[in-house]
Every structure is written in C-alpha cells, then in structure tokens.
Amino acid sequence: MNLGESIKLLEPSMVYKVWGGSQLASLKGLGELKAGSEPLGETWEISVHKDGPSLLDGSPLNNEVSQEQMPYLVKLIDTSDNLSVQVHPDDDFARAHENSSGKTECWIILGAEKGAGIYLGMKPGVTKEEFEKGILTGEEMNRYLVFHEVEVGDFFFVPAGAIHAIGTGVLLAEVQQSSGITYRVWDWNRLDDKGNSRELHIEKAMKVTRFGDEFNSEKTFKKERNIFQKGISQVVTHPQFCLRQVTLDENETIELDLNECGRVKGILNLNGSLEVEGVKLAPYKAALSSSSRTKLNVKAKESGSFLLVE
C-alpha cells in the first residue's frame, strides 16, 4: 500500500491492565477512568498487529499496511505495579512453535518514580538448573535478575532470550518486532479477585531463555544514559527495525535522510510540538510516512524529542 507523500496521523490502540498507571491517560488527555475499570497500561501507537492495530482515519492500520511493510510495533507503557518476569522467543523458535516472528525489543525511559527500575538479565553465575529449581520450589524469582534503577533518557536493548520485567513506577517507549509472543516465568505470586494466578509458560520459557554471563551483560543490553542529550543518534539497528532518537531546540529545523529499507516509517513525538512535513504532531502522538519517502523535514515549534522508526 502506498501512503502517498503526506504525513498520516495515527490514533493508538488502548490496552487496559491491572498494573497500569495514571500517566498515560493524563498525557493522552483522556480524563479520569470510570471507577472500577482497569487503568491504561499501554498504548500501541504504531501497530499493524492484529491484537491492537492503531487507527488511520478511524480504520485499523492493518487494513492499509501489511506486516511486511511494517514489521515493528511502537508502544508507550506506564506501570503502577511490576510486570511479570518473562522472556520472548527468537524468530526461529517463534516460527516453529507459534507461527509468528520472534520478539526483540528496546526501551527508552520517559519517566520514573524515585528508586524505580527494570529487571533485565541474569545475575552473574546463575545457571539454567538453579533458575528452574527456583521456579519449581516457589522462590521469589526476581532474586536471580539484575535490577537497574532508571532515569529519564536511559536506553536498554532487550534481545529475544533475555529474561526481564518492567518494574513499578516507570513510563517508557518500547520499540519491538511486531509480535505478541510472551512466555511468563513468574508473576510475583499475584492472584486475581477469584484467587487464581495467571498462566505461566515454564516449559517454553526454559527452552528460549539464554543463560551465561557473556549474554547477560551490559554490552548485550546496550545500556546508555542521557540519550536525549545527543541531538540525533542511531540508537539501535535490527533486521526488522532501525531506531533513531532526535532532540531539537525550539524553532530548530532539520532534514533527515531516510533509510531505503522498503518499510513504512513511523514517528513518535515524545515532547514538544513538532511540524513534520508541515503537519502538526502533538506530544505523545504518532504519525506515518510512506516507504518511498527519502527525506523528512521536521521543525520543532518547542524544544523536545521524537523517535523515528524505519
């Protein structure tokens, strides 16, 4: 599908979760939720995934853009509680067992309460046998994971096979392969209002989780600080998505050369008002540009940052 040369504004798919926070609804101008309803945990800002396509002119984006044209997914996530300890499969395992692509992702921290953080990777020396025994004997599984206290501007790359959990009090942007395959390992011993725990996926999780100190290192996770102070930076390059971060001063104008990768380009504004090819893009809003475009002109009406995904 050819989007044409104009910039297309998107509306997100909303995902309400018991662990959701209060910031996303406020940032999106949605007002207060009804009493008793689950809070807004995720907004799928740029998505053709069947479980939550974003909207283009009121119609699901996957009616217009294929998975091949946009094999990535861009979310905002807001937490008031820990997410489950989980892991995602790589492409080979997911295609063989789930009829799906795998799920590698990355996170950019947009907000964090004091002391908040994320769990990512095994502590040094943790073995598969030790970890699996801990699951079977009912241990607190976060004791095996590395906790990273976070600040605004932190970046983490989360490859398939990396054990992880987003902690309480974090607002982040997630860029990932367009896949919903998640294997839950442990859910903090939580029970629902009927006394039931969430389904876990131990057998598959143990097949895809990667152990060993070389893999579970900051080098693998490409941890960076203060990425919003870098002007324009190529944050990560993956076979199915390339991510750039761009920070501009008020009234600054730039022309970006776009990758000729054949994929539709996604723009997620994080803060400050932008004009993208003359189209206004408010904070925490997303837009698309066609795969045929080779340059992108952006003007910052206010100082701020945005993400460009190709």
Q: CB of 87 within 8 A of CB of 185?
A: yes
Rounded to whole angstroms, the Cα distance separating 149 from 113 reads: 10
Q: Which residues of 47-187 form beta strands (DSSP E)? A: 55-56, 59-60, 72-78, 85-87, 105-112, 117-122, 145-149, 155-158, 164-166, 170-177, 183-186
Cβ neighbours, 10 Å, residue 253: 10
What is the layout of strands, in order, in the sheet containing 59-60? 59-60, 55-56, 8-11, 286-289, 265-271, 304-309, 241-248, 232-238
Q: Which tokens sit at 245?
A: 């971060």
The one catalytic residue among 95, 143, 184, 225: 184
Q: Give the full edge-to-edge strand order of the sheet including 253-257.
A: 253-257, 295-300, 274-276, 279-281
244 flagged as catalytic: no
Q: What angle do CA 10, 258, 287 make, to 5 degrees?
A: 5
Alpha-helical runs (H) found in the chain: 23-27, 91-98, 128-136, 202-208, 218-221
163 neighbors 185 (Cβ within 8 angstroms):
yes
Active-site positions read 184
